[in-house]
Amino acid sequence: MTATRPCLQALAARLGVVDVFHDIAGVRHETSDTTREALCAAMGHDASCEDLAARALATLEREQHSAPIEPVQVWRQHARLTPALLLRHPGTRNALAIRIELEHEDGTQAALERELPGMPAGTPLRLPLPAQPSAGVHCVRLIWASGRAEQRLWVVPRTAFGAAEALGATRGFGVWTNLYTVRSERSGHWGFGDLSDLGTLARLCGEWGGDFIGIPPLHAIPARADEVSPYGPVSRLFRSPLYLDVEAVPEFADCEAARTGLDTPAKRQTLASLRSAKAIDYGAVLDAKLELLRELHRCSEAQATRRAACDAYREREGEALLDFATFETIAAQQGGSDWRLWPAPLRDARGAAVARFRAEHVGEVDFRSWLQFELDRQLGRAAKTGRAAGLRLGLYGDLAVGSSLGSADTWSFGGRFASGVHVGAPPDAFSADGQDWGVAPLDPQALRADGYRFFARLLANNFRHLGALRIDHVMGFERLFWIPQGRPAAEGAYVRYPRDELLGVVALESQRHRAVVVGEDLGTVPADLPAELASWGILSSSVLTFEREDTSFRPASQIPARALASANTHDLAPLSGWLRGRDLELRHGLGELADPSDHASAQQQRAAERSAWLERLRTEDLLPPDGEPTPADWCRATSAFLAKTAARLVAVSLDDLAGEIEPLHLPGIGSERHPGWCRRMGCTLEALAADAPLRAGLPQIGRAADTLPPDAKGA
């Protein structure tokens, strides 16, 4: 490939922009200079002409050459080797006296003084540290006569916390659910699955012989209009109050204002409407809950013990919580959660206008902080319920790939994010034109300069109370597909990330929280990524729909051991709906398969896939050789197939167990065309608990079938 702008190309390469990639179909794509220029600008470098590109490149090289040490080092623990300080000599003719200080994570310190010979500037040296640091995050300081520099040193374990550490030589079986879609007959259910429902599910799963309950991201969302996707949140650090059970707040029993407010004819009518609705009305649920939660907050303020617990939570979360609570307060006043549309003075989280606003609305900011405290408490209670019910892993959570462009995260931590670009995907099985997910990417250069502080906080906040965490689009640890704002997805390009360093931080946080990590690695996957994930002890995702060879489905014996295996995901129709082609019917009705020949072709392909899956189940002796299976037969046989695999973790969808047909959403189709993320389950948790046929099928994948093949026991 001949570069028409060599300086731009060199700058883009220095910043990690990939020149060429191949999509899932193997088609080669070359990055255009227009895209390079936009992606460089997103990382703060004006490359609109060759002179400016050359100047930006020279500045980067000069800064690197003049910095004696890197701002961050991630050292993976090794049996024989020890971490050292990699130094670029400041450049002197005479000997140079230096001092190396090591401040351990626990606050203890050690120091080492030595003399370096005179050398040219930039000469690389490897120097021993004053002491051997254990796993953790430490501070290294380099001091010499004319300067000083500091490095954040991550000493990380060889692997993340493994499934074998949690489960021994057995597999883990669990049920995953789109929690918000859950129905319940209990009085405290307000038309939105909440954390008390999660506790109920945890108890049920324990009775069914399970080890974990899988849940969607609980991230904070605007919950207004079409801004309801858990994968486009306003914060990945904090959670949505929609998941709060109002009646489980400790003050509810004694808070007369809240109890009276709940017992009015208008409120009873509102709750009855929310409970009986076929679809979730996010805004109505949120408004109804916030009204009573405000009363409960006032009562909580009068309880010394609760106030002290809340204060401890605030201290732990620090400025990030204060920023988020302020963001939520401004968003409520402005009528929108996109800070880019607010008045200019309020767009600066560190500006004087925001400080004044916070002081003028201290009560509301305090309330928004308290909501996060109570969310943390109720999630912790659900986790304890699961453990008490026998769930060996407990809760299995989900971390979305990014936050929305105008989110609280980009407002508060703006310097860590690239601007003017969106994250998406090149052409794949879901979209022939590629996808724009509308979330903001973290800037890989800023991540390193920050010493991975924000990234570590993000992980810690999401690991808390969980026994396992799914990382959405884990390929983003190696490369993310950036799309310039206002351009089609086809004009995007990949940007590289410091994979090994990011995985090291994940491993440390995973071990600290004793939580297993599952990487969602579906789609266009770099060739060497699966092996790297395995080396770090991170499980892969195996979805039966994609486990195919030509027109046939792979046998159970070929499903990978180092994986969490499931029949489907939130992006796919439930099993009964997939077998019927319900997702194809919806797409046809929305004009996606408008051409009769395209629709017929899609139907024929689905019929062939259905036949191939039937043949696989019969070959595995999981269905009789003739006759048409019932929906329950399909579900039981598919679940039994999962149990036959070597996969370390097996997850069955609650929607499949309940016989749901409607997809949760249709990838690539916006909420203005189809009400995604709003479908509720048809039956209640109580009905599922009493469903004898459902219970009869579950032991096939419970602990009665949890012994792993020998080759899977190290996974």
Q: Where are the domains of the chain?
A: 6-66, 78-156, 163-702
403-440: buried (b, 16+ CB within 10 Å) or exposed (e) per residue?
Answer: bbbbbbbbbbbbebbbbebbbbbbbbebbeebbbbbbb
User: Would you say the CATH fold of 163-702 matches that of 78-156?
Assistant: no
The pLDDT score that the predictor gives to residue 186 is 93
92: which DSSP letter?
B
* CATH class of the domain at 163-702: alpha beta
Q: d(Cα 413, Cα 58) in Å, to the nearest integer?
A: 27
Cβ(1)–Cβ(7) below 8 Å: no
Cross-strand pairs, 484 = 421
Burial (CB < 10 A; 0-12, 13-18, 19+), residue 344, is: exposed
Q: Strands across the sheet with 109-116, in order?
A: 72-76, 147-156, 136-144, 96-103, 109-116
Q: d(Cα 267, Cα 288) in Å, to the nearest integer?
A: 8
- Strand, coil or helix: 375: helix
The pLDDT score that the predictor gives to residue 1 is 46
Against a cut of 0.85, is the pTM above it? yes
The pLDDT score that the predictor gives to residue 375 is 98
Tell me the mean pLDDT per 10 residues along the chain, length 715.
81 97 84 97 97 98 92 92 92 94 97 95 94 97 94 98 94 95 94 98 92 97 92 98 98 94 93 95 97 96 95 98 98 97 98 98 98 98 97 98 98 97 84 86 97 98 98 97 94 97 98 98 90 97 94 95 96 96 95 90 96 97 94 92 93 94 91 91 93 61 54 57
Cβ(679)–Cβ(662) below 8 Å: yes
Q: What would the two tokens of residue 501 be?
A: 């360093």
The pLDDT score that the predictor gives to residue 694 is 65
Question: Assign residue 122 a region: left if phi > 0, alpha if psi is -120 to 50, beta otherwise?
Answer: left
* CATH class of the domain at 78-156: mainly beta
Cβ(461)–Cβ(316) below 8 Å: no
Q: What are phi and psi of 133, to 5 degrees?
A: -80, 145
Cβ(567)–Cβ(653) below 8 Å: yes
Q: d(Cα 270, Cα 285) in Å, to the nearest integer?
A: 9
The pLDDT score that the predictor gives to residue 708 is 62
Cβ(370)–Cβ(191) below 8 Å: no
Cβ(484)–Cβ(135) below 8 Å: no
Cβ(72)–Cβ(451) below 8 Å: yes
**Measured between alpha carbons, how far is residue 177 from residues 209, 377, 411, 545 in Å?**
16, 21, 31, 18
**Measured between alpha carbons, how far is residue 296 from residues 246, 258, 329, 378, 603 in Å?**
9, 6, 18, 15, 53
| 607-613 contacts, C-beta under 8 A, 24 or more apart | 607/581, 608/551, 610/579, 612/548, 612/551, 612/552, 612/553, 613/544, 613/553, 613/638
